[in-house]
């Protein structure tokens, strides 16, 4: 057996500690599969004295995380610090510049700086791996980059944030309102004290930008993702969707539209016949549709120390095998600028929910605005009064251009009848 792959760990939170436990417990098996041992030689974190439930005494402690990049007895640096910029990015740049392979679970850094880091890694002939950055323990990066490499990917989409999915499916099961479920999710540790990255769609957008680059060979373009979260969704929306044969899920969606890259994170009404409608709790699921393979679905735990550590060590095994490959699906210097496809000309059905004053003429006002915008209404439901004396009106449009739906809503912006901003969700279809 050849010399071990010597690694340094930066960040010893739940995932970093999980990597140590996994390597210690499965070390012999990992060595067999990798063709050589994987050996931790150095670690770094902010607090040297914190009890992490693992023995750190066998490893060299380095106070300055960035110094790991220059350690002579380190072959590969593993970063689990987080953040799109700052110390994590500095460590990535310096490690690759020093000729050390780099493994990260940092989705934000790859979404914002993936192109720069990929070009640097490939120019040095070393590996940059990030399986754990998208969907935790699900091997979706390898699945798309390697397993589906003979296919033209038509679209890639899925449930990319476990916190949002937990909230929506809990609301679905119990008829609870958004705020109470969010508080429960925070108490259980599913949601952060500041949950904005999750419930506002930013976390899912980071992952989607990476998946789109892998799937289509386009440069990573996080700024090109249209992002909306789930804050405005009410239990009534979930009930209406169910009555129509749909379930509400926060989806990331990417495809090539007219030669340009379309990327969106938004709540969708998913048909109950679609597998994504049955993904519950904090589970993640990614669907990639290949022109020869058909629909491929990857499902599993999207977070947690065990699944994420598993993905990190799988990347280390690839590096130990000298199984490098390109960072994305094609060499970084061959990736193209996708251009940004705007959603306005996309055609499909939309679900629109209004909270309105309970007074005569409101329904006529809404339908007239939609008529004038060339939007035809397929169905409409008006609920009874809420506790605040308002009325909920929900409608589903016929196939319409999204820009026409937007125009119809703009006609209602100054209406005294509307009490709050309308909620718009798209109905997932095979043509989306």
In the chain, count H helices and then E strands: 12, 18
* Cα-to-chain-centroid distance, residue 109: 13
Q: How far is CA 207 from the centre of its chain?
A: 4
> Taking the C-alpha atoms of 90, 93, 95 and 101 in order, what is their torsion angle to the nearest 10 degrees?
130
359 among known catalytic residues = no
**What letters, b where the CB count within 10 A reaches 16 and e where it falls short, cover 366-400?**
bbebbeebebebeeeeeeeeeeeebbbbbbbbeeb
Q: What does the DSSP 8-state code read for residue 47? A: -
The position carrying tokens 């009064």 is 385
Residue that the structure tokens 């970063």 belong to: 79
Question: What is the C-alpha to C-alpha distance for residues 11 and 88, in angstroms, rounded to an integer?
Answer: 10
Q: What angle do CA 122, 101, 159 make, to 5 degrees?
A: 85
Catalytic residue among 60, 129, 207, 349: 207
Cα 98 to chain centroid distance, Å, stands at 30
Active site residues: 207
């Amino acid at each position: 057996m050849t010399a071990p792959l010597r690694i340094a760990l930066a960040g010893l939170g739940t995932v970093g500690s999980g990597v140590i436990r996994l390597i210690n417990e499965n070390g012999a098996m990992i060595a067999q599969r990798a063709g050589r041992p994987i050996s931790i030689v150095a670690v770094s974190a902010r607090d040297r004295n914190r009890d992490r439930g693992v023995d750190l005494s066998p490893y060299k402690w380095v106070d300055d995380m960035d110094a790991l990049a220059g350690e002579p007895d380190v072959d590969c640096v593993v970063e689990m610090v987080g953040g799109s910029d700052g110390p994590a990015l500095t460590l990535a740049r310096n490690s690759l510049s020093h000729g050390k392979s780099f493994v990260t679970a940092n989705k934000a850094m790859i979404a914002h700086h993936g192109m720069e880091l990929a070009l640097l890694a490939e120019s040095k002939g070393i590996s940059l791996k990030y399986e754990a950055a998208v969907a935790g323990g699900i091997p979706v990066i390898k699945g798309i980059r390697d397993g589906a490499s003979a296919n033209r990917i038509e679209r890639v989409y899925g449930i990319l944030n476990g916190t949002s999915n937990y909230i929506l499916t809990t609301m679905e099961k119990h008829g609870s309102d958004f705020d109470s479920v969010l508080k429960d999710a925070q108490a259980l540790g599913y949601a952060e004290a500041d949950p904005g990255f999750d419930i506002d769609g930013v976390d899912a957008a980071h992952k989607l930008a990476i998946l789109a680059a892998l799937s289509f060979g386009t440069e990573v373009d996080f700024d090109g993702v249209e992002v909306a979260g789930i804050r405005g969704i009410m239990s009534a929306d979930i009930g209406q969707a169910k009555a129509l044969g749909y379930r509400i899920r926060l989806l990331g969606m990417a495809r090539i539209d007219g030669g340009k890259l379309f990327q969106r994170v938004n709540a969708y009404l998913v048909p109950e016949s679609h597998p994504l409608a049955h993904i519950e709790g904090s589970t993640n699921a990614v669907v990639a549709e290949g022109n020869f393979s058909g629909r491929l679905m990857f499902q599993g735990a999207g977070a947690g120390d065990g699944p994420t550590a598993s993905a990190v060590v799988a990347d280390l095994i690839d590096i130990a095998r000298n199984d490098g490959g390109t960072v994305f699906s094609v060499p970084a210097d061959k990736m193209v600028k996708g251009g940004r496809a705007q959603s306005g000309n996309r055609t499909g059905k939309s679900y629109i929910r209004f909270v309105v004053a309970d007074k005569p003429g409101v329904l006529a006002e809404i339908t007239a605005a939609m008529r004038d915008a060339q939007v035809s209404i397929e169905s409409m439901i008006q609920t009874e009064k809420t506790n605040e004396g308002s009325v909920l009106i929900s409608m589903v449009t016929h196939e319409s251009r999204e820009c026409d739906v937007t125009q119809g809503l703009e006609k209602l912006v100054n209406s005294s009848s509307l009490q709050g901003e309308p909620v718009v969700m798209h109905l997932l279809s095979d043509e989306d």
